[in-house]
A and B are shown apart, each in its own frame.
Chain A
Amino acid sequence: MTRIETLAQPGHPDVTSAVLSLRGITKRFPGVTANDQVSLEVYPGEVLGLLGENGAGKSTLISILYGLYQPDEGEILLDGQPANLSSPAQALRRGMGLVPQHPLLVERHTVAENLALGAGSAWQPVRQVTPRILELSRTYGLEVNPAAPVHTLSPGEKQRVEILRALLGGARILILDEPTSVLTPQEVEGLFQIMRELRAGGKSLIFISHKLDEVMEICDRTVVLRRGKVVGGLPIAEASKASLAELMVGRSVSFERRRVTPPPGPLLLSVRGLEARGGRGHLALRGVNFDLHEGEVLGVAGVTGNGQTELVEVLAGLRPVSGGAVSLGGVPLTGDPAQRFAQGVAHIPEDRLHTGTVPTMSVSENLALREYGQLPFSRGGLRNLQAQDEFARRMVERYAVSTPNVQTPSRLLSGGNIQKLILARELTEQVRLILAVHPTYGLDIGATEQVHQELLGCAGRGAGVLLVGEDLDELLSLCDRVVVMLHGQLLGPFDAAQTSRKALGLQMTGGAA
């Protein structure tokens, strides 16, 4: 294999050197063509970015590459030879490896035991597989202790185990499905280092991500899918975030920061010495202090489990306070979630499916979840279903919720549409404080942009936004100030214009303390 030469020629004029070629792959499902004449090449020693909105056909394409689906038309060539990938086992034998978004590991077993499953021989599989794990770890910088039980590992380590599993199976082509969505910035950097090692070792990587900054950083080339078709493919040197986003969405997308210097509004939310206990009885908030002004967007960054969830729950009235004071507009903030909503506290919860909506109930009924007990939704304890449906139709149109009708159960909606439904319900005229937790998690670029615009629109009308997120690029582009949550306390605030992803990442892991 001539890997040094291929690395030297990013344009790859020579199609015959491709390790994997797709020629006119088409896959139809009832009512939809998921992949439509998809052709692409993957060369040894490169990272190919596979981009596309939700529903663009990435999952179907992965399923075909991994032998889960058979294409209706087209062919797959491996090393120039037609290959029939009729099952995952066969795909693995031919050198395909898949690193799933969420690790599929047995938590109670050790790393070696997990990896021995399938890869080891029948006799003493763990003992046989361990030296091979260690050897691969050394070669590619995949640090992981084979004797460690999986439940003690961090998300990044679990991901390394999945990569090791693919490599043990002899993978030459690794498909990484949104691998950074579960990682901290430092872990992302570590993953990219591993990916560079793998690339240098001649492996081909297919990297799937929504985060264009990461694509720009790690990929050599990109292929963009839209509605099942390849709409473009650019060497990364010729691409920009804007051009890729435009290809994905089909229209231009703004990445501009919303404003340069926010005019400081009057004090809205004041939090002093706030303490609260978490679900397991430990002190999850240990003296939290911050101020939020009207019209301000305050970001809360941090590694999951440092008290962000508890902070929002306390402010929303879902978790009792054990110490400290919270006031909204100079008045102590108390009461249950319904009373707080009446005072203008909106809550976009982390789990939009199981907290933010009732999946079995209709779009119309879900939109009434906050104000069902008031005019015009009800009077004297009796509901007015016409008024409810009328409101729902207005909201569905105003927020462009894609739903067959307002009587459709909300569980049949896509994640983006469910989030729009929640926004439509929460962001009323009277909203003063918005508690938004991961509001764009898992959404595609179009829906993400809409969520951003709605939140910023409310801020523009004077509402304060507390935005809890794990995507630092998002926090930095939306927020005026960012605080970092670590072990139940706040670090900062940091002025968003004067800090960086890297600096925040260090704070998140306690590196600067």
Chain B
Amino acid sequence: MRLSPVSSPGPWRRLLVTVIALLVAALICAGVFALYGVAPLEAYRSMLGTLGDPVGLSEVVRRSIPLLLIGGGLTLAYRAQFVNIGGEGQLLLGAVGGSGVALFVPPGPWTLPLMFLCGTLLGGLWALIAVWLKVRYRVNEILTTLMLNYVASSLVVYLINGPWKGRNVQGYVYSDLFPGAATLALLPGTQVHQATLVLGVLVVTGLQFVLTRSVFGYQLRVVGENRAAAEYAGIPVGRVMTLAALITGGAAGLAGVGEVAGIHHRLLEPGELSLGYGFTAVIVAWLARGNPLLVLLTAPLLGVILAGGDVLKIDQNMPFRIVDVFSGVMLLCLIVSELFVQNRVRFGPWPRRSYE
């Protein structure tokens, strides 16, 4: 068996290989289920069952909202070669920003817009730290964004244990409940905060437009695909990358505000606030191969897995963190699949390579 390069892989090849990679991931996870003593088919049936009933479906949509926002922002960052692994931290900072407004600014009709604004700014600021270090001192952004997740998490823990600890929560560690003006309306009978959902759809659509039709999008793609050419053409590389980082961080911040204003209505433990959306969104963006609009498909797909984790916990008595195993295996398969997108598998003896 050998690989021979495909000169320009088409979209159908990409799709086919991606689907196969997802199937392989499902197969590997089936093995994990079996080892755990759960019948794989049974497990998959309960996971996919979420799509069948209204409650399950609403759970999938609810999980998809933050994935949509963060994943959309990440596709843009990845196109600029700003490898942001800090969606989780940026989401938490967004939640902090939103909570700050909700808890300390007198409530009124301005509360929600101000929360979203503040959350976006803080999320962007969190990414700004990493991009500044990258542009100014060439510090690897994978490390800084990853590490800033822990800083953000500790910041939230500090706030809810210290200055923002609720007055009426007894032994619990979280902030006071937000006033009514700081909470988002839900679709009746669900936990779907539709305002954020609409916002997410608008954001990914807008990002697609920015990427393909705007001058900034053109600059961003040149910077990401050939930095030397960007410098040669006089494109301000640092500025473009900074703006890309602000957008990706801001989108994650938006998601954070959505979570606290839509579901929890208070600032609480990082682990309860987010189910690792910032990390799962990496897979969302990878699956979408850098196209923001495709996130509309890939975010719900990962949403099914997150919602399915809940079901597995209840139906099959599995730990919820099985979703991490799932996401990990999926990401691995997708990374490996890139090899098969770029190369065709051939059987038979090696052909001779031409001289040169």
Expressed in whole angstroms, the Cα–Cα distance for A360 and B226 within the complex equals 9
**CB-defined contacts of B354 to chain A, threshold 8 Å:** 59-60, 63, 68-69
| Cα A337 to Cα B229 with chains together (Å) | 11
- B290-303: CB near A (< 8 Å → 1, else 0) gives 00000000000000
Chain B stretch 216-233: residues in CB contact (< 8 A) with chain A? 216-219, 221-222, 225-226, 228-229, 231-233
CB-contact partner of B229 in A69, A70, A316, A358, under 8 A: A358
User: Given A68-B352, A360-B225, does the pair A347, B214 have CB atoms closer than 8 Å?
Assistant: no
A369 to B228, CA, bound (A): 12
How many residues on the B side are at the interface (Cβ–Cβ under 8 A)? Answer: 26
- Residues in B197-231 with C-beta less than 8 Å from chain A: 213-219, 221-222, 225-226, 228-229, 231
Query: Are B218 and A354 in contact (CB-based, < 8 A)?
Result: no
Task: Indicate if the CB atoms of A373 and B215 lie closer than 8 Å.
Answer: yes
Q: Known A69-B354, A98-B355; judge A370-B214 contact (CB<8 A).
A: no
B214, B218, B231: most-surrounded residue (chain A CB, <10 A): B218
Q: Are B218 and A370 in contact (CB under 8 A)?
A: no
Determine how close the nearest CB of chain A comes to the CB of B220; give it in whole angstroms. Answer: 12
Cross-chain contact A337 with B234 (CB below 8 angstroms): yes
Q: Does the CB pair B232–A385 fall under 8 Å?
A: no
Q: Please determine whether A369 and B229 come into contact, CB atoms closer than 8 angstroms.
A: yes
Contacts of A351 in B (CB 8 A): 228
Residue B356, interface by CB 8 Å: yes
Q: Across the interface, which residues of B come within 8 angstroms of A412, CB to CB?
A: 7-8
A318 adjacent to B231 (CB under 8 Å)? yes
A211 an interface residue at 8 Å Cβ cutoff? no
Contact A361 B352 (CB under 8 A): no
Q: Assuming the A-B contacts A68-B354, A381-B214, A381-B215, are A361 and B225 also in contact, with contact meaning beta carbons closer than 8 angstroms in the complex? A: yes
> Which residue, B231, B233, B236, has most C-beta atoms of chain A within 10 A?
B233
Note all chain B residues with C-beta closer than 8 A to A360: 225-226
**Residue pair B8, A337 in contact (C-beta under 8 Å):** no
Instruction: Give A317's nearest chain B residue, CB to CB.
Output: B234
In the bound complex, CA of A419 to CA of B229 (Å): 14
Interface string of B1-30 (1 = CB under 8 A from A): 000000110000000000000000000000
Which residues of chain A have C-beta atoms less than 8 A from B353's C-beta?
A: 68
Binary contact readout A175-203 vs B (1 if CB under 8 angstroms, 0 otherwise): 00100000000000000000000000000
Min CB–CB distance B338 → chain A (angstroms): 14
Contact between B228 and A355, CB atoms less than 8 A apart: yes
Partner of B355, one of A63, A336, A359, A361: A63
Q: Cα distance A60–B219 when bound, in Å?
A: 40
Residue of B nearest to A337 (CB): B234
Question: Can you name the residue of chain B whose Cβ is closest to the Cβ of A384?
Answer: B213
Give A328-357 as 1s and 0s: 1 = Cβ < 8 Å from B's Cβ atoms. 000000001111110000010101001111
Cβ of B243 within 8 Å of any chain A Cβ, yes or no, is: no
Judge whether B318 is part of the interface by a CB distance below 8 angstroms.
Answer: no
CB nearest to B228 among chain A residues: A355
Cross-chain contact of B232 among A59, A101, A349, A409 (Cβ < 8 A): A349
Specify which chain B residues have a CB less than 8 angstroms from the CB of A365 in the assembled complex: 218
> Chain A 471-492 against B: per-residue CB contact (8 Å), 1 yes, 0 no?
0000000000000000000000
- Report Cα–Cα, A372/B225, bound state, in Å: 16
Chain B's closest residue to A69 (CB) is: B352
B-contacting residues, A34-71, CB 8 Å: 59-60, 62-63, 66-70
Q: How far is the CA of A420 from the CA of B166 in the complex (A)?
A: 69
Q: Which residues of B contact A98 (CB under 8 A)?
A: 355
Return A430 CB to nearest CB of chain B, in Å: 16
Query: Out of A60, A63, A338, which one reaches B234, CB within 8 Å?
Result: A338
Known contacts A63-B354, A351-B228; is-contact A361 B215 (Cβ 8 Å): no
A84 to B233, CA, bound (A): 52
One digit per residue, 1 when the CB lies within 8 angstroms of any chain B CB and 0 when it does not, for chain A 55-98 equals 00001101100111110000000000000000000000000001
B233: contacting residue among A101, A338, A382, A409, CB under 8 A: A338
Give the docked Cα–Cα distance between A383 and B219 (Å): 11
Bound CA–CA A81/B221 (angstroms)? 59
B229 near A356 with CB under 8 A, answer: yes
Asked if A354 and B229 sit within 8 Å, CB to CB, the answer is: yes
Q: How far does the Cβ of A438 sit from chain B's closest Cβ, in whole Å?
A: 15
Residue B146 interfacial (CB < 8 Å)? no
Q: Give complex CA distance A369, B215 in Å.
A: 11
Q: Is B235 an interface residue (CB 8 A)?
A: yes
CB distance from A61 to the nearest CB of B (A): 9
Which residues of chain A are within 8 angstroms of B215 by Cβ–Cβ distance? 372-373, 378, 381-383
Q: Which residues of B contact A357 (CB under 8 A)?
A: 226, 229
Contact B355 A355 (CB under 8 A): no
For A349, list chain B residues within 8 Å (CB): 232
Query: How long is the Cα–Cα vector from A177 to B7 in the complex, in angstroms?
Result: 26
> By the criterion CB–CB under 8 Å, are A337 and B233 in contact?
yes
B228–A381 CB distance below 8 A:
no
Instruction: Specify the chain B residue showing the minimal Cβ separation from A61.
Output: B355
Contact between A381 and B216 (Cβ–Cβ < 8 Å)?
A: yes
A383 touches B214 (CB 8 A): yes
In the complex, the answer to whether B231 meets A337 with C-beta atoms within 8 Å is yes
8 nearest A-B pairs in the assembled complex, by CB-CB distance:
A338-B234, A337-B234, A63-B355, A358-B226, A68-B352, A336-B234, A355-B228, A369-B233
Between A and B, 18 residue pairs with Cβ closer than 8 Å are A60-B354, A68-B353, A68-B354, A101-B356, A177-B355, A316-B232, A338-B234, A340-B234, A354-B226, A355-B229, A357-B226, A360-B225, A372-B218, A373-B215, A382-B215, A383-B217, A409-B8, A412-B8
Knowing that A337-B232, A361-B221 touch, tell me 9 more A-B residue pairs with CB under 8 angstroms.
Answer: A59-B354, A67-B352, A336-B234, A337-B233, A337-B234, A349-B232, A355-B229, A359-B226, A360-B226
